[in-house]
């Protein structure tokens, strides 16, 4: 009983010390949220937007879907390998420095990729650009958690999390068009420019959020004796598969199976990403209203699994419903990220959240990096419809793993 009371006290300290920002102007707080969101969007262009190179690599460079999938997965691998080190840097040296270092790295290597036609070097540079983009995942999330109180944190993090689909949307309407007209290498101007602009804005606006004085024994390892964080990581891994199946193959499916023009398909994907961004805001606001991150997370898992299964059936039948269903799937398969991200940061506290968020995203990106090549193989062997339907199985498993009962009531 004593140990349980102690653990609750430790949890309370973690949340309150991370949750009570010093008094700053509302305008400044929201300005930092906006810039953090823009930084995350720029990161997403690099880390998640490269699958839009697949049509150009496949049709113009003569690569198979599996080969093209390996190349565009390189940024995801780079992100995966560096998330925890970037999280450590944010924990120990602050968020602003981490953001500036990472975004500058992304701009540098994405810019270098423009001039290299050798596919091996090109793939390596994509991976290094992704490694720089990884800095934003933990650092920008810590900025939001540090400057916003719990009652507004779900909404604020939902706004910040809308950056990922927004970044993918930006990539969707720019990368394939530039790649078709000027080649896949020229399309790297998009992530290079986005990262450079974001770095300048961070330098002008973002300040490190306050953190309490660290005391001996005040920041124990949040993973010891508590499976809550581990279960959130596992749920997020399962839910990231349908998300990346949709992100990677929606445009290719529209072009190859539905015979849409790349520009037309890119517009639809971008519009879907706008709705997905709004969906993340709605999910975050809902979690504030119901004072729970885990119950909405479970609801999202149910809806995402059902939608992916319906999408697989509709695509297999050639139904006109398949196109609107892929828009719905785009919205639902990303709605979980902000909820899980906020819950991890709240539970881990100010001295562990960088590494905990790094582990959260490492697990996600490790899984996501396998989706383009394995998904390309599945599409080649089974077709798009079966690939979509198989992706529905993982949210079904995730439903029972969401740690609803282990969640502390939000005040």
- 2-208+224-401: CATH topology: Growth Hormone; Chain: A; (1.20.1250)
Asked if 178 and 190 count as a contact pair (C-beta separation under 8 A), the reply is: yes
Report the candidate in 175, 222, 197 with the shortest Cα–Cα distance to residue 13: 222
> Is residue 408 packed enough to be buried (19+ CB in 10 Å), middle (13-18) or exposed (0-12)?
middle
Q: How far apart are CA 218 and CA 253, in angstroms?
A: 52
Residue 20 gets which letter from DSSP? -
Report the candidate in 282, 243, 230 with the shortest Cα–Cα distance to residue 395: 243
Tell me the DSSP string of 370-387: HHHHHHHHHHHHH-HHHH
Compute the residue count for the chain: 411
Per-residue pLDDT of the chain (411 residues; tens, 9 = 90+): 444 434 433 443 444 334 344 456 678 888 999 999 999 999 999 988 888 888 778 777 667 777 788 888 889 889 888 988 888 888 788 889 999 999 999 999 999 988 777 888 888 999 999 999 999 987 887 888 788 877 787 888 888 877 877 888 888 888 888 887 877 778 889 999 999 999 999 999 998 887 766 555 556 777 887 788 889 999 999 999 999 899 888 888 998 888 888 778 888 888 887 888 788 888 888 888 888 889 999 999 999 999 999 999 999 888 889 999 999 999 999 888 878 888 888 887 777 777 888 788 788 878 877 888 888 889 889 999 999 999 999 999 999 999 988 777 555
pTM above 0.75, yes or no: no
**Three-class DSSP category at 123:** helix
- Angle, vertex CA 85, rays to CA 84 and CA 90, nearest 5: 95
């Amino acid at each position: 009983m004593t140990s349980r009371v102690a653990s609750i006290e430790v949890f309370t300290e973690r949340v309150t010390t991370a949750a009570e920002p010093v008094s700053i102007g509302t305008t400044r707080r929201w300005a930092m949220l906006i810039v953090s969101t823009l930084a995350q969007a720029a990161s997403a262009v690099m880390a998640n937007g490269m699958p839009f190179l697949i049509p150009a690599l496949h049709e113009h460079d003569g690569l198979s879907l599996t080969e093209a999938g390996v190349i565009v997965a390189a940024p995801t691998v780079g992100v995966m390998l560096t998330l925890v080190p970037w999280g450590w840097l944010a924990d120990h040296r602050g968020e602003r420095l981490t953001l500036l270092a990472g975004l500058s790295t992304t701009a540098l290597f994405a810019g270098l990729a423009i001039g290299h036609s050798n596919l091996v070097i090109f793939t390596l540079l994509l991976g290094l650009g992704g490694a720089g983009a990884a800095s934003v995942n933990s650092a920008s999330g810590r900025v939001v958690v540090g400057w916003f109180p719990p009652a507004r944190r779900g909404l604020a993090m939902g706004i910040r999390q809308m950056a990922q689909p927004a970044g993918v949307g930006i990539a969707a309407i720019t990368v394939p068009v530039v790649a078709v007209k000027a080649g896949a290498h020229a399309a790297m101007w998009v992530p290079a420019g986005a990262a450079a602009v974001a770095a300048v804005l961070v330098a002008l606006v973002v300040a490190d959020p306050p953190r309490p004085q660290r005391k001996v024994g005040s920041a124990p390892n949040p993973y010891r004796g508590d499976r809550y964080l581990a279960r959130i990581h596992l749920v997020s891994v399962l839910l990231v598969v349908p998300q990346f199946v949709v992100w990677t193959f929606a445009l290719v499916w529209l072009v190859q199976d539905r015979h849409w023009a790349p520009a037309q398909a890119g517009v639809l994907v971008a519009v879907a990403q706008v709705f997905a961004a709004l969906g993340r805001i709605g999910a975050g606001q809902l979690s504030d209203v119901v004072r729970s991150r885990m119950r909405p997370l479970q609801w999202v898992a149910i809806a995402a699994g059902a939608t992916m299964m319906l999408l697989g059936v509709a695509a297999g039948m050639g139904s006109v419903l398949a196109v609107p269903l892929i828009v719905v799937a785009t919205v639902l398969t990303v709605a979980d990220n902000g909820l899980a991200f906020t819950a991890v940061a709240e539970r881990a506290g100010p001295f562990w959240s960088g590494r905990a968020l790094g582990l959260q995203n490492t697990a996600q990106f490790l899984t996501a990096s396998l989706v383009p090549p394995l998904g390309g193989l599945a599409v080649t062997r089974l077709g798009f419809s079966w690939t979509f339907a198989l992706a529905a199985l993982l949210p079904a498993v995730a439903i029972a793993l969401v740690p609803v009962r282990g969640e502390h009531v939000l005040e």
